[in-house]
């Protein structure tokens, strides 16, 4: 199976655990902060199975984190996000991998939108910074 075949495969065929691991590693590679994973699978009307949320210190840092996630997932899981938003301003970059949606926030933007509180019924896992 070549890379083109893998890329065309349906996102739900991906191993979500490997996807999430690659995302977390991409965040850690660029020293992303306050990393949390929300498991939304048991919630009705959830837009995805998982949210992975983190933050960066500046728009440059946020862009570096999102670029690192893109590269790590592409190398390890052979897929790219179906959609990415916010790269221009880099105050909130959203990367949609179907089963998992990644949110890379500027700290003040993260506080304003309060995604963790909005989805507070989800099981959350915090990841230590490296």
The per-residue pLDDT for 3 is 42
Q: Is 123 inside a domain boundary?
A: no
Nearest residue to 128 (alpha-carbon basis) of 34, 38, 65: 34
CB 94 within 8 A of CB 15: no
State how far the Cα of 47 lies from the Cα of 24, in Å rounded to an integer.
Answer: 20
Query: pLDDT tens-digit profile of 19-34?
Result: 999 999 999 999 999 9
Segment 41-61 shows an average pLDDT of: 95
Domain count, the chain: 1
The per-residue pLDDT for 48 is 95
State how far the Cα of 120 lies from the Cα of 124, in Å rounded to an integer.
Answer: 8
Query: pLDDT tens-digit profile of 61-111?
Result: 999 999 999 999 999 999 999 999 998 888 899 999 999 999 999 999 999
- CATH of residue 24: 3.30.460.10
Q: Is 130 inside a domain boundary?
A: no
Which carries the bigger pLDDT value, residue 27 or residue 7?
27
């Amino acid at each position: 199976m070549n890379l083109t075949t893998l890329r065309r495969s349906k996102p739900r065929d991906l191993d979500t655990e490997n996807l999430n691991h690659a995302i977390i590693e991409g965040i850690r590679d660029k020293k992303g902060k306050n990393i949390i994973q929300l498991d939304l699978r048991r919630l009705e009307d959830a837009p995805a199975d998982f949210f992975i949320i983190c933050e960066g210190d500046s728009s440059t840092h946020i862009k570096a984190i999102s670029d690192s996630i893109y590269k790590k997932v592409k190398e390890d899981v052979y897929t790219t996000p179906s959609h990415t938003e916010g790269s221009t301003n880099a105050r909130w970059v959203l990367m949609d991998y179907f089963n998992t949606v990644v949110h890379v926030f500027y700290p003040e933007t993260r506080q304003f939108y309060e995604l963790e509180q909005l989805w507070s019924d989800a099981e959350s896992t915090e990841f230590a910074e490296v």
